[in-house]
Amino acid sequence: MKQLAPTQLRTWPAGQPATLLDVREPWEVELASVQVDGLTVRHIPMGQIPARLGELDPSQTVVCLCHHGMRSAQVVTFLERQGFDAVYNLAGGIDAWSATVDPRVPRY
């Protein structure tokens, strides 16, 4: 499984399209979220991924995130099995993002 550190996500190359797939529950997204210039953010809770798979483009890079990186790691594994090649897990999730990149993002 490919991992991406929060600092790597922060410096995502301009002009390289990717989807930041937030697999947390809606209440979690309301508490804290990540925005990265140039990335499209999609919110699909982990439990809905199989039913909503058609909303994702397997030819595009996908970076999955959750609270600490465990749920998103499971989604990465699932997406890889579905033929997604360029799929990454945000190591440490939004918690690591807050701790290392943007302390304005609330930790919960």
- pLDDT for the residue numbered 51: 98
Q: Examine the residue annotation and report whether 66 is marked as an active-site residue of this protein.
A: yes
Cβ neighbours of residue 50 closer than 8 Å, sequence gap 6 or more: 78
39 Cα distance to chain centroid: 10
pLDDT digit string, tens, across residues 30-88: 999 998 988 999 999 999 999 999 999 999 999 999 999 999 999 999 999 999 999 99
pLDDT digit string, tens, across residues 4-31: 999 999 999 988 899 999 999 999 999 9
- pLDDT for the residue numbered 14: 85
**Choice among 18, 23, 34, 66 that is catalytic:** 66
Cα-based distances in Å from 83 to 19, 38, 48, 61, 95:
16, 24, 18, 12, 28
What domains can be seen in the chain, in order of their start residue? 2-100 (3.40.250.10)
Q: What is the pTM of this model?
A: 0.95
